[in-house]
């Protein structure tokens, strides 16, 4: 099975959407590889941004969308995790305090400068400079927008990565989930944990959010938590059956009927997810080291031997 090529680059939107009073979601279609969501809150003295974007052009467009809503400066930038689609644009916020979990700082540096090959089709990243968080926290930190509390919480376990945080605004029941949720896209836990992601979803559900800005895809409600939960259980069942049959993750993925998940973007992520699920089914703890190069190579094979399509 391979992912059909999408025909064009998806341009960054010009405006953000106000999802609650003074709270904006910046949703970038189509939400596939490297095309993430961000968001911001406008206060009397300044703006709090949740994440940046993958490329210079996309982050510049996002800053333009902020400027269309307010002339106040971005004073705080919160990173939900270390992946480059949420952090490569950090350097374009020179006056902001960049906040993130303790592990994000080292992970941004280890990830390094952006590059496309051999995993992805070519991307024009722009003159990106790494700018990791310089204010970090272990468990949680509160950020205030005037008197409105933004509760930035480490999710407590490897899930999408080993450093995922969410931004929860209890007074407005608004949640910025980072990549713990992909609305319309295939969940991805190759660098984290299947079991941990399920625990993280339970924690999100316990917050009882009404409005969720996912890491990728349209703004949604708590039903997206249930959908992600179902997919990850499907991954666990597929891994258990594959290991019992003595087949490798790639072979299991190629022979699997995606069923209700067939229309999700980036289905090749199933292979990476299975590499992680195989390890956990064999007893590995959440976040244990696996062969990420082999898992990535198998995703390319699943994709017909082509680099994964990226329109960032």
Q: What are the beta bridge partners of residue 100? A: 136
Tell me the per-residue pLDDT of 50-96, one tens digit each, with 9 for 90 and over. 999 999 999 999 999 999 999 999 999 999 999 999 999 999 999 99
pTM metric for this prediction = 0.96
**Three-state SS string across 34-56, please?**
CCCCEEEEECCCCEEEECCCCCH
User: What does pLDDT average to over the chain?
Assistant: 96
pLDDT over threshold 60, residue 154: yes
Tell me the per-residue pLDDT of 188-203, one tens digit each, with 9 for 90 and over. 999 999 999 999 999 9
Q: What are the beta bridge partners of residue 60? A: none
| Percent of the chain scoring above 90 in pLDDT | 97
pLDDT over threshold 60, residue 1: no
Given a contact cutoff of 8 angstroms between Cβ atoms, the answer to whether 271 and 248 are in contact is: no
Q: According to the model, what pLDDT value does residue 9 have? A: 76
Long-range contacts at 62-65 (CB < 8 A, ≥ 24 apart) = 62/12, 62/26, 62/38, 62/89, 63/92, 63/93, 64/14, 65/13, 65/14, 65/15, 65/16, 65/24, 65/26
What domains sit in the chain, N to C, each tagged with a CATH number?
17-302 (3.60.15.10)
């Amino acid at each position: 099975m391979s992912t059909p090529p999408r025909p064009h680059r998806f341009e960054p939107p010009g405006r953000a959407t106000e999802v609650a009073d003074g709270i904006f979601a910046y949703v970038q279609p189509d939400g596939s590889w490297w095309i993430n969501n961000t968001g911001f809150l406008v206060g009397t003295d300044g703006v709090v941004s949740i994440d940046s974007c993958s490329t210079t052009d996309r982050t510049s467009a996002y800053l333009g969308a902020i400027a269309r809503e307010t002339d106040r400066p971005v004073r705080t930038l919160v990173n939900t995790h270390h992946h480059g689609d949420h952090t490569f644009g950090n350097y374009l916020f020179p006056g902001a305090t960049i906040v993130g979990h303790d592990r994000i700082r080292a992970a941004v540096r280890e990830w390094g400068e952006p590059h496309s090959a051999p995993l992805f089709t070519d991307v024009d990243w722009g003159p990106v400079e790494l700018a990791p968080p310089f204010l970090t926290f272990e468990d949680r930190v509160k950020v205030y927008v005037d008197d409105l509390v933004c509760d930035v919480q480490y999710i407590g376990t490897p899930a999408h990565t080993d450093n995922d945080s969410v931004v929860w605004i209890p007074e407005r029941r608004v949640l910025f989930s980072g990549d713990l949720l992909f609305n319309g896209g295939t969940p991805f836990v190759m660098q984290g944990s299947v079991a941990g992601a399920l625990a993280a979803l339970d924690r999100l559900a316990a917050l009882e959010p009404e409005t969720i800005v996912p890491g990728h895809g349209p703004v949604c409600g708590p039903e997206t938590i249930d959908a992600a939960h179902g997919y990850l259980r499907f991954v666990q069942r597929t891994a258990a059956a594959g290991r019992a049959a003595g087949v490798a993750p790639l072979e299991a993925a190629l022979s699997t009927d995606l069923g209700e998940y067939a229309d999700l973007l980036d289905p090749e992520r199933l292979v990476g997810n299975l590499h992680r699920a195989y390890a956990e089914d064999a007893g590995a703890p959440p976040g244990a080291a696996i062969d990420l190069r082999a898992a990535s190579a198998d995703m390319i094979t699943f994709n017909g031997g082509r680099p994964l399509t990226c329109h960032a």
